[in-house]
Copies of this chain bind each other. A is one copy, B any other.
């Protein structure tokens, strides 16, 4: 990894940048895994599964959606969603409602109980974010936000 020819004065900074990139990759993967594991634990404590909570989150943000829309948003087939919604309906978290004008369509929405679960989960997320970023100074927080938003746009 050294530069025996000494041809390039830019070599050292280049390597330093590459090592930052590697460290960044590593830190992202690690962060992702820790977040996954946290989410998994939190969700299971409520007696729900990850897809179930994911459904509540999307419905919590969007108020109500068609089955079709919801499946697309979640990246699953409508067949999978049918039984997912069945189970959430059994748990009294969501309800099916006929579409106003299209009798093929079905609207899914949160019940009061579902909304409560969603809000609790959201609060836990906020608390986690607060705890994780507690050690960061204002400037770093702002930079972090800027970076995350740029990366989200880049996806």
Residues of A within 8 A of B (CB): 17, 20-25, 27-32, 34-40, 75, 125-126, 129-136, 138-152, 154-155
Contacts and interface: CB of A to CB of B under 8 A. Distances in A.
A77 B140 CA distance: 39
Contacts of A24: 129, 133, 141, 144-145, 148
A125 to B, nearest CB: 6
B29 A125 contact: yes
Contacts of A142: 20
Q: Which 4 residue pairs spanning A and B have beta carbons closest together?
A: A143-B143, A27-B148, A25-B129, A144-B147
Contacts of A34: 152, 155
Contact of A20 (B21, B141, B155): B141
Nearest to A22: B126
Contacts of A36: 32, 36
A32 B29 contact: no
Contacts of A25: 125-126, 129
A130 B25 CA distance: 8
B140 A143 contact: yes
Contacts of A139: 143
